[in-house]
Amino acid sequence: MRKSITQNANSMYKIIAIDDDQGVIDTLSVFLKRSGYDLTGITNPVEAIQKIRTEHFDLLILDFIMTPIHGDAVVEEIRKFNKDLYILLLTGHKDLAPPLETIRRLDIQGYCEKSDKQDQLLLLIESGIKSISQMNMIKKINTELKDTYDKLEQAYMESIETLRYTVEAKDVYTKGHSDRVSAFSVLIGQKLGLSDEDIKLLRIGGLFHDIGKIGVPDNILLKDSKLTDDEYSQIKNHPSIGAHILSNATIFADIIPIVKFHHEKFDGTGYPSRLKGEEIPYLARIATVADTFDAMTSVRPYRNALPLEIVKEEFRKLAGIQFDPEISKVFLNILENDYDKILEIQENFLS
């Protein structure tokens, strides 16, 4: 019965696959229809572009190396008229994948290598469907609210809470963590003398910064042992997934930079975009400090909370490397002179 229910839910979403190898299309068709998905397979990428232009599809599975045009050119055309389509790129080999800049520019949500084993692709599709579901809910909310300006503020907060509870139902740790990151971010913003509007964005962005974890498979998100490289790479997708989920609602536009870039590092080695220094949005740099501090001082399945003195030493050492040096300096001042406020936040929002 559970399998039947899942398959019925999957059939609500339309998937199109483009690959100039009919054998690949046939294999995908058998595999995905067995999982209950509604799949349309096309071998001619030019014809596929026209079909996507005239019909609705939720998710595209796309081969990269094709004739007469490659996958990146296909996406280039599609993005001219469809910004919402969730795209998964298939490559014959990692070395043949398009550069990161191209993937980022064309808003391709993920890619994986072709394989006889379809488990990895199925996980990516399931994650994509979860993201699409959330996007659809936000679109519905946005449509319903566009003519009700007077109620927008209340609905804004309620919609955030609804989506956040969805994530918390998957990962109990996220509840206390998101609340604390929000409160720590506000505290830092106040010490920096930011405007009321920026303080508000820090508060909401902190609550919402991990919403993209809705698209991370449960077996990875809830794993209590060390992640494999492939599993960690999927975890690292959550900022981009979160930004994609929020991108269809104008009411969320101002917090998207916090959601998407809170794992960037000041030296340019973070993710998902490897932004460096002042390329990283300022409020996201604040959220990075708050997020990392809470991670350091929280008990995890694989380690205890770090002592305060070690935490302070890490912030001194990583200023200018992981953290904006000025924001790190302000936060260290809070730890030295206003630690009672930190303790109050931690007591108010226990995990």
The span from the CA of 210 to the CA of 205, in Å, is: 9
**Do 101 and 154 have their domain in common?**
no
**Do 279 and 250 have their domain in common?**
yes
For every residue of 132-176, DSSP letters joined together read HHHHHHHHHHHHHHTT-GGGHHHHHHHHHHHHHHHHHHH-HHHHH
Q: What are the residue ranges of helices labelled H in the chain?
A: 2-10, 22-34, 45-54, 71-81, 100-105, 119-145, 152-170, 172-191, 196-208, 218-221, 229-235, 238-246, 256-261, 282-296, 308-318, 325-337, 339-348
The span from the CA of 128 to the CA of 245, in Å, is: 10
**Do 292 and 181 have their domain in common?**
yes
pLDDT of residue 195: 96
Q: What residues have CB less than 8 Å from 248, skipping those under 6 apart?
A: 84, 135, 138, 139, 142
The span from the CA of 164 to the CA of 159, in Å, is: 8
Final residue belonging to a domain, choices 69, 102, 130: 130
Q: Is 226 designated active site? A: no
Using 70 as the pLDDT threshold, list the residues of the chain that sit under it. 1-10, 93-97, 116, 145-157, 160, 170-175, 301-302, 351
Q: Quick one: CA dihedral 72, 77, 83, 84, positive or negative?
A: negative
pLDDT of residue 263: 97
**Residue entry with tokens 């380690």:** 303
Tell me, yes or no, whether 96 lies in a domain: yes
Q: For residue 30, give Cα distances in angstroms to 19, 36, 40, 115, 123.
A: 15, 10, 11, 15, 17
**Do 227 and 312 have their domain in common?**
yes
**Do 116 and 244 have their domain in common?**
no
pLDDT of residue 2: 41
Tell me, yes or no, whether 144 lies in a domain: no
Tell me, yes or no, whether 136 lies in a domain: no
Q: Are residues 248 and 149 in contact, defined by beta-carbon separation less than 8 angstroms?
A: no
The span from the CA of 264 to the CA of 285, in Å, is: 8
Tell me, yes or no, whether 68 lies in a domain: yes
**Do 54 and 100 have their domain in common?**
yes
**Do 114 and 208 have their domain in common?**
no
**Do 221 and 343 have their domain in common?**
yes
CA angle 228, 64, 261 (to 5 degrees): 50
pLDDT of residue 64: 86
pLDDT of residue 116: 67
**Do 46 and 167 have their domain in common?**
no
CATH of the domain at 340: 1.10.3210.10
Tell me, yes or no, whether 142 lies in a domain: no
3-state DSSP call for residue 57?
coil
pLDDT of residue 163: 72
pLDDT of residue 191: 97
**Do 241 and 104 have their domain in common?**
no
Q: Tell me the pLDDT tens digit for each residue of 279-331.
A: 999 999 999 999 999 999 987 766 788 999 999 999 999 999 999 999 999 99
Distance between first and last Cα of the chain: 35
Domain that holds residue 72: 2-130
Tell me, yes or no, whether 137 lies in a domain: no
CATH of the domain at 21: 3.40.50.2300
**Do 177 and 65 have their domain in common?**
no
**Do 159 and 118 have their domain in common?**
no
Final residue belonging to a domain, choices 130, 163, 194: 130
Tell me, yes or no, whether 143 lies in a domain: no
- Spatial CA neighbour of 122 closest among 41, 36, 45: 36
Q: How many domains is the chain built from? A: 2
Q: Which of left, alpha, beta for 303 (phi over 0: left; psi -120 to 50: alpha)? A: beta
pTM metric for this prediction = 0.62
Catalytic residue among 33, 139, 213, 312: 213
**Residue entry with tokens 């790190």:** 328
Final residue belonging to a domain, choices 61, 95, 130: 130
The span from the CA of 203 to the CA of 291, in Å, is: 12
